[in-house]
Amino acid sequence: MKNFLIILSLIGLVVFLFMGAVIGSYNNLVSLRNQAQTQEAQIEAQMQRRADLIPNVVEATKGGMAQEKTVFASIAKAYALFQNAPSGSTDKLAAGDQLGSAIRGYLVVVQQYPQLKSLDLVRDLTTELEGTENRISVARQRYNESVLAYNQARQSFPGSLIAGFFNFQPIPLFQADSGSKTAPKINFSK
Amino acid sequence: MKKIILFIILFLAMAFPVYAAYPSPTGYVNDFAGVLKPATRKALNLKLSNYKKTTTNEVTVVIIKSLGDQALEDYSIGLADQWKPGVKGKDNGVIFLIAIQDRKMRIEVGRGLEGNLTDVQSQHILDDIVKPQFRDGNYDQGVTDGVNSIISTLNTPQASTSASSNASDNSGVLSILFILLIIGVIGFAVFLLHDGSGSSDSEISDDSSDDFSNAGAIAGGAILGSAMAGRSSDDSDSSDESSDSDDSSTSSSSDSSDDEGGFGGFGGGSFSGGGASSGW
């Protein structure tokens, strides 16, 4: 009888230790996935911050470069696409990237208008745009770091077993569009 | 196999900026290029050290010879992630970075100060105040004027834009695990007491209750242990765990001396890429 009970409690012990490991690994995956999702939301928040500047930027420059219809059209289109994309979707981030492209093209054109460049308002708005660009870049970096941590936990042992059982999907890295690395800087030197 | 290689390459590519060799801070003024006069360095160090004492803001000047291959913004955020100036939770750090050979400079503003020192304000400080001095080669004057402007801008009360946006869910997970911990401790204590009370119904079950209570105690410990292990790794450098401002304890570590020998390191503040860049 006593031996039976010892074996039973040993089995119970093993089960509990196993449960402990499962719980620990599961919680870790949940936490890492949450961090990745938080970082993704941060990218979107910074993209929104950049998009919110667009109306002011257009307003400040449309008088001085009214003939640049293509540029204004492309920014307006990209802006609308971004605003309409559902929050939290990959479409939103892709639209944000396209808006970034449109903004960069727009800033290149503003370069060619010295009387616009010299306006304090234009200068400050461009500073804010560049600020949001950097914030997006940093947010994207942090997102990719958190995604790597999550994917790593998901692929290594014992996370791989837990992930398979509880259906933890891999998260894709956010690839920067090729233009974003070479953002043109406006030279405001007087 | 391809996936593994891709993973390794991406991991190295992502990890490399973080682990790039940044120098270690020596104080609030870090002149690795040796362009400042010693008197300027001392005066600024003292000013920033006192500023830290009165406001807990950690403003640091970093002057390097060259950025090497890195872009200014990449170097700056990498440095910020490594040094982490600013009190943890408050995220009130500022880095004034100057790359001499590249003739580039940047003010990198911590998350908690983005409302007090906006991108536009940083840009104006660099373009209107520092740049003219640097163009004439007056590094001492330029850096001093820049630091003074940064401090006075930070001191000006502003309508603070909400910098801390992400409510981290980790606090919820932690409190649940904490409750589990308490339950585990209580359960453990109950098992111990049950064992020692001796008020079991029959003398036969006395023997078996020993094993069960022991197993229960071990199991309780195992569950506790896993609950602790399952706690999220909140030591990750980049994770977004900015707590509300009332979480941060303002009990400053006892800074011994008030001269430049008293630098005790930075407080762990985080950055999200705010600030402005310029050149001369």
Q: Taking CB atoms and an 8 Å cutoff, what residues of chain A touch B207?
A: 2
- With CA atoms as reference, report the closest residue to B62 among B97, B27, B34, B37: B97
| Distant-in-sequence, close-in-space partners of B182: CB < 8 Å, separation ≥ 6 | none
pLDDT of residue B129: 96
Looking at the predicted structure, is the pLDDT value of residue B177 above 90?
A: no
What band does B217 get if pLDDT is binned at 50, 70 and 90? low
CA distance A52 to chain B (A): 15
Summary mean pLDDT of chain A: 87
Nearest to B10 among A35, A41, A148 (CB): A148
Of residues B219 and B180, the one with the higher pLDDT is B180
Q: Taking CB atoms and an 8 Å cutoff, what residues of chain B touch A176?
A: none
What band does B241 get if pLDDT is binned at 50, 70 and 90? very low
CA distances from B74 to A39, A93, B10, B100 (A): 18, 22, 17, 16
Q: Which of B29-33, B119-123, B224-228, B235-239 has the lowest mean pLDDT?
A: B235-239
pLDDT of residue A83: 94
DSSP state of B27: S
pLDDT of residue B252: 41
CA distance A28 to chain B (A): 6
Cβ of B276 within 8 Å of Cβ of A42? The answer is: no
Give the pTM: 0.70
Q: Residues 36-65, chain B: which have Cβ within 8 Å of A? A: none
Top-confidence range, A67-71, B235-239, B263-267, B269-273: B269-273
B162 lies within 8 A of chain A by CB: no
Summary mean pLDDT of chain B: 76
State yes or no: ipTM above 0.85.
no
Looking at the predicted structure, is the pLDDT value of residue B13 above 90?
A: no
* A122-161 residue pLDDT tens: 999 999 999 999 999 999 999 999 999 999 998 888 888 8
Instruction: Return left, alpha or beta for B81; rule: phi > 0 is left, psi -120 to 50 is alpha, else beta.
Output: alpha
Q: Measured on CA atoms in the order A187, B149, B143, B100, is the torsion positive or negative?
A: negative
Of residues A104 and B194, the one with the higher pLDDT is A104
Q: Which of A111-125, A171-185, B54-68 has the lowest mean pLDDT?
A: A171-185
- Cα(A79)–Cα(A61) distance, rounded to whole angstroms? 16
Q: Which of B18-22, B196-200, B237-241 has the lowest mean pLDDT?
A: B237-241
What band does B248 get if pLDDT is binned at 50, 70 and 90? very low
Cβ of A13 within 8 Å of Cβ of B10? The answer is: no
CA distance B79 to chain A (A): 13
* pLDDT (mean) for B98-109: 96
What band does B178 get if pLDDT is binned at 50, 70 and 90? low
CA distance B139 to chain A (A): 19
Cβ of A13 within 8 Å of Cβ of B215? The answer is: yes
Q: Which of A23-32, B139-148, B160-169, B221-230 has the lowest mean pLDDT?
A: B160-169
Looking at the predicted structure, is the pLDDT value of residue B229 above 90?
A: no
pLDDT of residue B211: 57
B212 lies within 8 A of chain A by CB: yes
* B164-176 residue pLDDT tens: 444 444 455 555 6
Q: How far is CA B67 from the centre of its chain?
A: 23
Q: Measured on CA atoms in the order A73, A75, A78, A84, is the torsion positive or negative?
A: negative
Nearest to B240 among A31, A39, A128 (CB): A39
What band does B232 get if pLDDT is binned at 50, 70 and 90? very low
* B40-92 residue pLDDT tens: 999 999 999 999 999 999 999 999 999 999 999 999 999 999 999 999 999 99
Determine the residue among A25, A31, A57, A156 to mutate to test chain B binding: the one whose Cβ has the most chain B Cβ atoms within 10 Å. A31
What proportion of chain A, given as a percentage, has pLDDT over 90? 51
What band does B257 get if pLDDT is binned at 50, 70 and 90? very low
CA distance B171 to chain A (A): 11
* pLDDT (mean) for B120-132: 96
Cβ of B232 within 8 Å of Cβ of A141? The answer is: no
Cβ of B226 within 8 Å of Cβ of A35? The answer is: no
CB atoms closer than 10 angstroms to residue B182:
11
* A19-53 residue pLDDT tens: 998 899 999 999 999 999 999 999 999 999 999 99
Q: Does residue A123 contact residue A57 with C-beta atoms inside 8 Å?
A: no
Looking at the predicted structure, is the pLDDT value of residue B162 above 50?
A: no
A91 lies within 8 A of chain B by CB: no
Looking at the predicted structure, is the pLDDT value of residue A186 above 80?
A: no
What proportion of chain A, given as a percentage, has pLDDT over 70? 92
Cβ of B212 within 8 Å of Cβ of A28? The answer is: no
Q: Which of A7-16, B101-110, B196-205 has the lowest mean pLDDT?
A: B196-205
pLDDT of residue B271: 95
pLDDT of residue B238: 40
Collapse the DSSP code of B94 into the 3-class scheme (helix H, G, I; strand E, B; otherwise coil) and give the result.
strand
A42 lies within 8 A of chain B by CB: yes
* pLDDT (mean) for A152-180: 79
Q: Taking CB atoms and an 8 Å cutoff, what residues of chain B touch A166?
A: none
pLDDT of residue A164: 85
